[in-house]
Structure 1
């Protein structure tokens, strides 16, 4: 059965987004990159946009300021190709333990891949 918005058989945007957080927490960079379109754009507070899959790879392999952490997904709202998530992150940033709330918006393309992603937090570097 195809998702009516993406047209890709078996795509469940909520399941894809939940899998994304699991792969981030496992530090499975190759696995999480499989969930994104090649021309992905990722916007974060106070930072330049990440554009393209290779820039996203560089971010997760060496530039991400958060480490050794986990995401707790509290709420997920799906509206066609758009998935909004509210949750909490606990981990390490700059050698210090951190915990904070976040809100993310994921937009899927017609192939069932995440094409755009926006992160909102009360921190200016994530």
Structure 2
């Protein structure tokens, strides 16, 4: 699947792929040395750790992201929205704020902030 490497298009694809569980397509949006931070949880370093997270360790499932606002400026992107889905067998809905850094059309750093302890 070909993705436009404009940050806005990459992020639109990111949320689509996450919600559809398309891990291989999702990982193509990230640099090999990706760093993903979720405050209060361990950082994810590198594409293989990211693969493990999405295939095995991510506590969220069967859900969808609804993006309310996306701001992209000079390789930096901020996204605000809501996630509705399942976590540990329970229905959940919560707000999120994500920040992404881009180089050469790929996500090189990502931070996710929510009001939940683990996501």
TM-score normalised by structure 2 residue count: 0.95
Within 5 Å, give how 1:22-61 maps onto structure 2: 22-61=16-55
1:122 aligns with 2:119: no
1:113 maps to which of 99, 106, 110? 106
Within 5 Å, give how 1:83-122 maps onto structure 2: 83-109=77-103, 111-122=104-115
The total of aligned residue pairs comes to 116
Counterparts of 1:102 and 1:11, CA distance in 2: 23
CA-atom RMSD in angstroms = 0.8
1:112, CA displacement in angstroms? 1.0
Of the two, which has the highest radius of gyration? 1
Runs of 4+ deviating beyond 6 Å: none
Counterparts of 1:124 and 1:41, CA distance in 2: 19
Structure 1 stretches lacking a partner, 5+ long: 1-9
1:68 aligns with 2:62: yes
Structure 2 stretches lacking a partner, 5+ long: none
Structure 1 contact 45–125 (Cα < 8 Å) conserved: no
Greater share of strand = 2
1:54, CA displacement in angstroms? 0.1
1:45, CA displacement in angstroms? 2.6
